[in-house]
Amino acid sequence: MRTSASPRPVLLFNTESDRTDWWRDVLSEKIPGLDFRTMDQPGDLAEIEYVLAWNPPPGYLAQLPNLKAIFSLGAGVDHLFRDPDLPRHVPVSRVVNDNLTLRMREYVVQHVLNHHRQQRKYDAFQRQGTWEELHQPHAGERRVGVMGLGELGRDAAEHIAHLGFDVAGWSRSRREIAHVTCFAGQDEFDAFLARTDILVGLLPLTADTRNLINAETLGKLPAGASFINAGRGQQVVEDDLLAALDSGHLSEATLDVFQTEPLPAGHRLWTHPNVTVTPHIASITDPRGVADQVAENIDRSRRGEELRDLVDPSRGY
């Protein structure tokens, strides 16, 4: 077993994307001497000090005896914590950067505006050759509610508020955000839902948020409300969501994340007329955004300092 750090930091990269070369190039530019390894050629497992991972096979990380830090390839870490053998003594950091936040802002603003301006109905009118004007409230008359007021949710809520929407947010602990009415905790969830016309999901997946969006919670939204989810698919009981859409209680949904990804062929969400499906692209992790963070964390680790953007394993996010 090695006891001292090798002169070259050894990082194992685990991804489901086909962009490994891009990652290798960008990271190698930022991290001098980086020994970049991949899952198909990891070399001696005892040499691996750092892992940059999306969804490693359960039990794999426990086989790395000299692992010093795990860097999540996403802002979320549920894919790591679902491994029962995740080495608990190794710190886990997650992606936090302006690149990721900006991309999520774009996605949320795009779809809030689409819902608000009833774009789905105008698209259907166009297909039918129908020239019809719908009643259109202005943004100040539309109540948007953002679940999750962390790095991504806070930014999205602020930018929607800048557009003039009546914005509220919901988080575990109390937040204070200018021009956003903040609700906190389970006790205030119902009141938050009751005042929300467009619900936006930007929550991490934890035991508390799994299946949070179900028949009961959807029923607390005003009739005709809509839903945009870019958090995690496992937060939604998809049959309940479909039932709410079928009954018209929910007017539409835009979903980037699903219980099972890729969304299985033949799933009703693919073809429901009031659903927009995107393939988990709301905010992709861009190596140009992550490289500085990984470089800094490797430096910190090698100096024996605490890493930045650490996950609290007791909270699960």
Active-site residue, 116 included: no
Q: Among all residues, whose Cβ is closest to ligand OXD?
A: 74
Selection from ligand NDP, ligand OXD, none that 204 binds (CB < 5 to 8 A by kind) is: ligand NDP
Q: Is 95 or 311 the residue whose CB approaches ligand OXD more closely?
A: 95
Q: Using the minimum distance from each CB to ligand OXD, give the nearer residue, 101 or 251.
A: 101
Instruction: Name which of residues 236 to 295 contact ligand OXD (CB under 6 A).
Output: 285
Opening angle at CA 231, ends 210 and 38, nearest 5: 100
Alpha-carbon distance of 188 to 36, in angstroms, equals 47
Closest separation in Å from C-beta 74 to ligand OXD: 3
**Helix (H) and strand (E) counts for the chain?**
10, 12
Reading the block at residue 250, the tokens are 């929910």
Catalytic one among 105, 116, 142, 232? 232
Number of C-alpha atoms within 13 angstroms, CB side, residue 168? 20
Is residue 197 classed exposed, middle or buried when 0-12, 13-18 and 19+ CB atoms within 10 A define those classes? buried
Q: Who's near 126: CB < 8 A, 6+ residues apart?
A: none
- The option from ligand NDP, ligand OXD, none interacting with 269 (CB < 5 to 8 A, set by class) reads none
Kindly state whether residue 75 participates in binding ligand OXD, applying the rule CB under 6 A: yes
Choose among 114, 102, 138, 121: nearest CA to 227. Answer: 114
How near is the Cβ of 52 to ligand OXD at its closest, in Å? 13
Stretch that binds ligand OXD, among 8-16, 73-81, 121-129, 237-245 (CB under 6 A): 73-81
Cβ–Cβ under 8 Å, residues 70 and 51: yes
Residue 115: active-site member: no
Between the two ends of the chain, the Cα-to-Cα distance in Å is 32
Residue range at the interface with ligand OXD (CB under 6 A); choices 44-52, 69-77, 176-184, 262-270: 69-77
Exactly one of 280, 288, 302, 315 is catalytic; name it: 280
Binding site for ligand NDP (CB under 6 A): 74-76, 148-153, 170-173, 175, 202-206, 208-209, 230-232, 256-257, 280, 282-283, 317
Q: Closest separation between CB of residue 136 and ligand NDP, Å?
A: 29
- 199 vs 169: CA distance, rounded Å: 10
Q: Which residues are catalytic?
A: 232, 280
